[in-house]
Amino acid sequence: GAVVSQHPSWVICKSGTSVKIECRSLDFQATTMFWYRQFPKQSLMLMATSNEGSKATYEQGVEKDKFLINHASLTLSTLTVTSAHPEDSSFYICSASAGQRIAGFDEQFFGPGTRLTVL
């Protein structure tokens, strides 16, 4: 199956610093990438959807100036958490779809996640 990687797998940073998380599709071209965050023992909440070469679409309640998303190529999307605070500590997961529209759905392939801890 399609492989999606994320880097780093975990990061600890001080409050006020910015953290960049990379999401890569390794063996396919991802027309769309999705960013989710997941708090402990909770569900995945979609933060934003990004298409290569265009601005990301953010979900209601997600600050676009705080969570900067760049989908620079068909294999790479980045999420930058700017001026991180302890409440931003979470598990961030990306997913990518190849745009192969089988019966109206593009299967999303998930990355392994990045655990962010802000001190």
Partner 1 sequence: GENVEQHPSTLSVQEGDSAVIKCTYSDSASNYFPWYKQELGKRPQLIIDIRSNVGEKKDQRIAVTLNKTAKHFSLHITETQPEDSAVYFCAAWRSPLGFGNEKLTFGTGTRLTIIP
Q: Which residues bind partner 1 (CB under 8 A)?
A: 32, 34, 41-46, 49, 51, 57, 91, 93, 101, 103-108, 110-113, 115
Cβ-based nearer residue to partner 1, 25 or 32: 32
Shortest distance, position 19 Cβ to partner 1, whole Å? 18
Cβ-based nearer residue to partner 1, 78 or 95: 95
Cβ-based nearer residue to partner 1, 65 or 105: 105
Cβ-based nearer residue to partner 1, 59 or 63: 59
| Residues 6+ positions from 58 with CB-CB distance below 8 Å | 47, 48, 64, 67
**How far apart (Å, rounded) are the C-alpha atoms in residues 80 and 106?**
25
Report DSSP state, residue 105.
Answer: B
Query: Tokens at residue 46, please?
Result: 């979609």
Query: Tokens at residue 68, please?
Result: 């900067």
Shortest distance, position 111 Cβ to partner 1, whole Å? 6
Among all chains, which residue has been given the structure tokens 């909440």?
45
**How far apart (Å, rounded) are the C-alpha atoms in residues 58 and 67?**
9
Shortest distance, position 113 Cβ to partner 1, whole Å? 6
Shortest distance, position 40 Cβ to partner 1, whole Å? 10
